[in-house]
Structure 1
């Protein structure tokens, strides 16, 4: 888990995380979901923002569930402190031999997509001497985790109900996940909603009484009220980033990006025209100029694919990465300006000061903003503000 640090002159780069923005984002999302509950998804160390600080902030703003991918992430949250003891925490990415008993003893909700998982969790419940909180996941069209409709779903529902009758599990949820909710109007959205309705109706007809039914991720939370059911699961939207340009900008939904990534220039130097820059000399200075060295690289999660393309704000002006991004550093052409060594270089942030955003970096790297923030590595300290 990321920890809060004080930013100082010796820090080469830092990711400032505005927990006030995150709380505001939770409140904005809650304003869109009527009576549904909100699960704050803090997997992958809170999408790179720090899982535990972000979880605490989200709960302060009204989230009543937390979601993670792995059971280890969920167990760390439960052990981390500062969260209500009765807070519901769900994890969904299991492999055979996982820590089922530890999850039961920690009162986690665990996802089950197949008979092997139900077999393992019921065996763990026998050892633990108490029932497991189980949510059955339906594959309604994403084609990843989840149980297939038809005979597989009927078998899983029947076996889960028998395990519930034995006191080994409580079926607490029925859920699924969208494939293309970030493309409003795509026909797959309607097809998945219809299938989810059919699969939940079958389970309830057989006697399942779930506490929650849920399918809405960030884009569905923002644009698809009929998908809200009993619970929504925003992830990237919590952190103030739009799921896609097609859905809308953060400002369209009253969201504010929570992370600002910046560094201190390690060197500013004058070079002549025709000077090659970084590996492979993919950039050559067009004339006499100054170069600034930014001490972050792909070892810190800066995408190498953004070489010669991504923007950086230095000395109040947008600069472009000059040449290849290396493991620990990259260069920007300052066009003759001479900021001092130690001057701030802002890679991305909310955009308030004219700085680039994570979406700008995503466009430069040919990826999505989710990846830009999530991949920022442990070498980059997190600095928490508005705690």
Structure 2
């Protein structure tokens, strides 16, 4: 593992695996009768899929979830045990490789089921498939009127020994808005579609529809399995209802950089492209060596918060590809001083949610977009019931 001491000084994303394990345990406690899937798609929402998947399994996650098959195959190649599911397929995908790797395959339509059946025939082993119902989100999933046909063909393939229908599932559109009328409508339709499939002879191992916000706020949605994504990483899936601590969660990522330059400038000095910021008087400027190529949102130009020397600063002018500037107001931290863009907030630093507000987006995007030029530094790697002090 990369350590704090050997990480490049320009920038780092520190990933607290003890916090991740604690988040998984908290989420399990919210849904004690259901199994828990830790979703590690998009490189674990920018946190690093393999280390985060291992930590989640250590904390009791019995399933891992990804969007793409390539992500799922990478987990298996890294030796991750247990059940792994992926659901975002296109025609011609690596079905055979996924079957060989013992991965559960999300199926939303007949074209996908037929490609699975063909791959299973070639593999000489049944594929594990999970039929997805579109109960109202309008993305992936089988429409109710097409559900009987998909169920019937899946049962025929199961009778032929080519597939095993291991799951029936769906996804909520507005779980982060408790009380939204779509929630009960989707749950009712999901129950109907599950009941139909089971009457026809489907015997799923798991039925699931709950995402992070539903896991935290909608017990009726838990069924046999909950799929937790952003909450695993300690970010509130519904900021309107509470900050992470209100749900017993702790943010896992801290993003920091080292000041590349501190200099004196006179009043009236333009800062960064377009001179959208001009110094109101003589001051000091600090150069933070990360930019939109590292995932810092350009939309937060002039508003993104940073903690330097114990004080909140704001991005001065435009965020550039590799760097941005803050007005230090005459303070003179040295080059190399730490600039904390976001973290749990323990030291008064901004959070990912603060950056989301500054950029007009959601915290999911803030952490997921941090690019590969920023090394992930894993701390509290060993699981000693999370009383560990190792970094």
Task: Identify the residue that residue 28 of structure 2 maps to in structure 1.
Answer: 30
Structure 2: tracts of 5 or more residues without a match: 382-391
Task: Identify the residue that residue 299 of structure 1 maps to in structure 2.
Answer: 293
C-alpha separation in 1, matches of 2:204 and 2:364: 31
Matched, 1:108 2:85: no
Task: Identify the residue that residue 315 of structure 1 maps to in structure 2.
Answer: 309
Alpha-carbon distance, 1:249 to partner: 1.2
Aligned partners of 2:305 and 2:313 also within 8 Å: yes
Q: Give the SS at the match of 1:136.
A: strand
C-alpha separation in 1, matches of 2:238 and 2:330: 36
- Within 5 A, what are the aligned runs for 1:114-263? 114-150=109-145, 152-263=146-257
Aligned partners of 1:140 and 1:192 also within 8 Å: yes
Segment drifting more, 271-280 vs 5-14 = 5-14
Of 38, 48, 53 in structure 2, the residue corresponding to residue 50 of structure 1 is 48
Task: Identify the residue that residue 89 of structure 1 maps to in structure 2.
Answer: 84
Segment drifting more, 129-138 vs 247-256 = 247-256
Aligned length: 381
Query: Normalising by structure 1, what TM-score?
Result: 0.97
Q: Give the SS at the match of 2:44.
A: helix
Task: Identify the residue that residue 21 of structure 1 maps to in structure 2.
Answer: 19
Aligned partners of 2:3 and 2:379 also within 8 Å: no
C-alpha separation in 1, matches of 2:240 and 2:271: 36
Alpha-carbon distance, 1:290 to partner: 0.4
Q: Give the SS at the match of 1:233.
A: strand
Alpha-carbon distance, 1:4 to partner: 3.7
Aligned partners of 2:7 and 2:377 also within 8 Å: no
C-alpha separation in 1, matches of 2:273 and 2:141: 45
Task: Identify the residue that residue 340 of structure 2 maps to in structure 1.
Answer: 346
Matched, 1:278 2:276: no
C-alpha separation in 2, matches of 1:246 and 1:173: 32
Segment drifting more, 290-299 vs 7-16 = 7-16
Alpha-carbon distance, 1:9 to partner: 7.3
Alpha-carbon distance, 1:8 to partner: 4.0
Alpha-carbon distance, 1:206 to partner: 0.4
C-alpha separation in 2, matches of 1:282 and 1:349: 28
Aligned partners of 2:85 and 2:103 also within 8 Å: yes
Q: Give the SS at the match of 1:362.
A: helix
Aligned partners of 1:7 and 1:383 also within 8 Å: no
C-alpha separation in 1, matches of 2:361 and 2:283: 31
Alpha-carbon distance, 1:5 to partner: 4.9
Which deviations, in whole Å up to 9, do the C-alpha atoms of 1:162-186 show, x marking residues without a partner?
0000000000000000111001110
Of 8, 11, 16 in structure 1, the residue corresponding to residue 9 of structure 2 is 11
Alpha-carbon distance, 1:258 to partner: 0.3
Aligned partners of 1:5 and 1:382 also within 8 Å: no
Alpha-carbon distance, 1:248 to partner: 1.7
Structure 1: tracts of 5 or more residues without a match: none
Q: Following superposition, which runs of at least 4 residues in structure 1 exceed 6 angstroms of deviation?
A: none
Aligned partners of 1:41 and 1:66 also within 8 Å: yes
Of 318, 329, 337 in structure 2, the residue corresponding to residue 324 of structure 1 is 318
Alpha-carbon distance, 1:245 to partner: 1.2
Q: Once superposed, what is the RMSD of the aligned Cα atoms?
A: 0.9
C-alpha separation in 2, matches of 1:109 and 1:115: 17
Alpha-carbon distance, 1:34 to partner: 1.7
Aligned partners of 2:317 and 2:325 also within 8 Å: yes
Aligned partners of 1:181 and 1:219 also within 8 Å: yes
C-alpha separation in 2, matches of 1:203 and 1:323: 57
Aligned partners of 1:137 and 1:174 also within 8 Å: yes
C-alpha separation in 1, matches of 2:307 and 2:142: 47
C-alpha separation in 2, matches of 1:219 and 1:257: 16
C-alpha separation in 2, matches of 1:285 and 1:250: 36
Task: Identify the residue that residue 74 of structure 1 maps to in structure 2.
Answer: 72
C-alpha separation in 2, matches of 1:44 and 1:193: 27
Aligned partners of 1:113 and 1:137 also within 8 Å: yes
Q: Give the SS at the match of 1:321.
A: strand
Query: Normalising by structure 2, what TM-score?
Result: 0.96
